[in-house]
Structure 1
């Protein structure tokens, strides 16, 4: 099984605990490249509970099916201050995934 480690980034809103540590929020994912399935995911939220929640929420989705459903899950179930940053970072991760696919197709 071929996997890739891909990251997406977004600016954090001011006044957040994580913003004292990082200026940006990062979502990283290990993605199985044949089907685009998210095998594992992490992010730079300040609390372990928040990081585990995001991991549980996004694991198992296939990026080959688009990002509408995982974005809907983020909007509906993550109700913290970082929701817009998480959504932006996930969109950036999706963009990076497609850049990797395009590069691999050109090889």
Structure 2
């Protein structure tokens, strides 16, 4: 079982997909999950709401070890260059959502939800 150190955070980037997309039929949404080491500012694990294991592994490979200090655009360029699935636009929207949340967390601007 993989363990994450105490400097990591888990966050989800959400997006919508087209109604005919198989991901929508299974999950009702598209999302990526990222585990980010806040001290190193690097993605240490990733996943996506994919219905195919190959897709999940490919998306994971896009994000693994990405240096968050590089910003939003280099990853968008990488997605455009390498990911040509029907969820490309949703993947980019989910990445933008995740990156926005990352910045809020990094800058201590995300309110903590009480249970």
Does the TM-score normalized on the shorter chain lie above 0.5? yes
Aligned to 1:21: 26
The TM-score with structure 2 as length reference comes to 0.85
Aligned to 1:50: 55
Structure 1 runs (4+) greater than 4 angstroms displaced: none
Structure 2 gaps of 5+ residues are 110-115
The TM-score with structure 1 as length reference comes to 0.91
Please state whether the residue corresponding to 1:89 is helix, strand or coil: helix
RMSD: 1.2
Q: Which has the higher contact order (CA 8 A, sep 6+)?
A: 1
Structure 1 gaps of 5+ residues are none
Cα separation, 2, equivalents of 1:48 and 1:7: 19
Deviation at 1:35, TM superposition (A): 2.5
In terms of fraction of residues, the more helix-rich structure is 1
How many residues are paired up? Answer: 104
Deviation at 1:85, TM superposition (A): 0.2
